[in-house]
Amino acid sequence: MLNLDSEIKKLDLFDIEMPYVHPFRTSFGEETHKQTIIVRIEDVEGNLGWGETSVTDIPSYAYETIKTAWHVQNDFLIPKLKEINRPGMEIREILSGFAPVRGHEFAKSGLESALLSLKAEQDGVSIGKLYGSSKSKIPTGVSIGIQKSVDYLVDRIGEFLERGYKRIKIKIEPGWDIEPIKAIRKAYGDIDLMVDANSAYNLDDIDILKQMDQYGLTMIEQPMAYNDILEHKKLQDQMETAICLDESIHNPKDAILSIEYGCAKIINIKPARVGGYLNAIGIAKELGKGKVWCGGMLETGIGRLHNVFYQAREEFTIPGDTSGSDRYYSDDIIYPAVEVNEKGFIELPKGKGLGALIVEELIQSSSRQVVSHKF
Ligand code: OSB
Ligand code: MG
């Protein structure tokens, strides 16, 4: 039961922007900064819950943006939360209250994750207890954007391998696919390698996609259109390599349908993309080991810690896209930052809640706008 013993007193939203250490280029463009909405919830006892609404300014990966999430949270979801607010309210009851708002999974997840973090603080337990974390550490993977040259890409991968990263994912698009894959295999042999196309192909590209079968990739993520699960089924039927769905999956039903009908063999679960951590746990439980792994949205430390605890569940045997904070930010908004140890694992923080301090001054100084709701 996820009852909140004390009611909420105040909720703040911070629309922040933070520079990346390296620009991140995918088939839909280059990003140099992370835009995200940080959610801070305070209860009447002074406990604090923290969440992240990890969308971007541009509706390219998902239809949601910072502005749509800001609107939906401020004008629909938070008023609903105010209505429900009372000691003993259940988090699932709040989510049912959000259900009449269709879609807007990222907006909902930002609030849900802050409520779950608040619940862990109220109970004085690690959030891992709520997320069913059964491991003390998780293996680390990295998602590397499209680079200026194949040589440069191969060098960058070398740095991550040296630091113990266990799985390499590269972004591909037509013209940047077979050549980098070949070069990586030549340089590093049999490493755990996968590719992510972010919907850059269609069935006319079947010959190139089928060529990828000979490189022993762990999976090909989202090769076809974001809104075309059927086309992925047609591709999976003609390919050996496992197809993994990312941006096509918005909720547990999409995930289960895709696996059951053979449209994909694996689902990249981003809790924020499927409406939050309780939905994400539901998908992991339903699909089980080998069919799920945890993706990322280049989150700041707050979303990153939520993802670390989530993928410490037993179903997660495939390393995620959750890298160390230093791969994204020179200063993270949590202390200590998420660190990858010399063996390539992230150890789960101990202590209650998210197990780290939140650097509120950096959140304040990175904010483009702030709004405060008194309950
Ligand atoms: O397609 O998985 C993706 C980042 C932003 C938007 C979409 C994607 C990604 C990543 C990076 O691949 C994952 C990460 O390092 O957080
Ligand atoms: Mg992806």
For residue 353, the CA-to-ligand 2 centroid distance in Å is 28
Beta bridge partners of 29: 26
Ligand showing the shortest atom-to-Cα distance for residue 143: 1
Q: Which of 22-26, 175-179, 224-228, 293-297 has the lowest mean pLDDT?
A: 22-26
Which of 26, 219, 302 for mutating ligand 1's site (highest number of atoms within 8 Å of CB)?
26
Q: Whose CA is nearest to atom 9 of ligand 1?
A: 297
pLDDT digits (tens, 9 = 90+) for 37-90: 999 999 999 999 999 999 989 999 999 999 999 999 999 999 999 999 999 999
Ligand showing the shortest atom-to-Cα distance for residue 223: 2
Which one-letter DSSP state was computed for residue 173?
B
- What is the number of the ligand 1 atom nearest to the C-alpha of 222? 1
Reply yes or no on whether the pLDDT at 1 is more than 90.
no
Which of 63, 298, 300 for mutating ligand 1's site (highest number of atoms within 8 Å of CB)?
298
| Two structure tokens written together for 355 | 């197990």
Q: Whose CA is nearest to atom 6 of ligand 1?
A: 297
Give Cβ neighbours of residue 40 (< 8 Å, ≥ 6 apart): 11, 12, 13, 14, 48, 49, 50, 114
Tokens 């439980």, residue located? 285
For residue 295, the CA-to-ligand 1 centroid distance in Å is 7
As to burial, measured by CB atoms within 10 angstroms (0-12 exposed, 13-18 middle, 19+ buried), residue 131 is buried
Angle subtended at Cα 122 by Cα 121 and Cα 123, rounded to the nearest 5 degrees:
90
- What is the number of the ligand 1 atom nearest to the C-alpha of 196? 1
How far lies 216's CA from each of 16, 193, 309, 316, in Å? Answer: 40, 8, 30, 21
Q: What is the band of 309 on the pLDDT scale with cuts at 50, 70, 90?
A: very high
Which of 18, 140, 196 for mutating ligand 1's site (highest number of atoms within 8 Å of CB)?
196
Q: Which residues contact ligand 1 via a Cβ below 6 A?
A: 61, 143, 196, 198, 246, 295-298, 321, 323
Q: What is residue 375's three-state secondary structure?
A: coil
| Two structure tokens written together for 250 | 């918005």
- CB within 5 A of ion ligand 2: which residues? 196, 221, 246
Kind of pairing between the strands at 8-26 and 29-43: antiparallel
Output the pTM of the full model. 0.97
How far lies 65's CA from each of 107, 261, 294, in Å? Answer: 9, 31, 21
For residue 297, the CA-to-ligand 1 centroid distance in Å is 5
Reply yes or no on whether the pLDDT at 113 is more than 90.
yes
- What is the number of the ligand 1 atom nearest to the C-alpha of 31? 5
pLDDT digits (tens, 9 = 90+) for 193-239: 999 999 999 999 999 999 999 999 999 999 999 999 999 999 999 99
- What is the number of the ligand 1 atom nearest to the C-alpha of 299? 16
Q: Which of 136, 138, 128, 165 is CA-nearest to residue 310?
A: 128
Find the DSSP H helices in the chain. 66-72, 78-84, 91-98, 105-123, 127-131, 150-162, 178-188, 206-211, 229-238, 252-260, 277-287, 301-310, 360-365
For residue 65, the CA-to-ligand 1 centroid distance in Å is 15
Catalytically active residues, by annotation: 171, 270
Whole-number mean pLDDT of the chain? Answer: 97
Ligand showing the shortest atom-to-Cα distance for residue 272: 1
Ligand showing the shortest atom-to-Cα distance for residue 30: 1
pLDDT digits (tens, 9 = 90+) for 128-178: 999 999 999 999 999 999 999 999 999 999 999 999 999 999 999 999 999
For residue 124, the CA-to-ligand 2 centroid distance in Å is 35
For residue 86, the CA-to-ligand 1 centroid distance in Å is 37
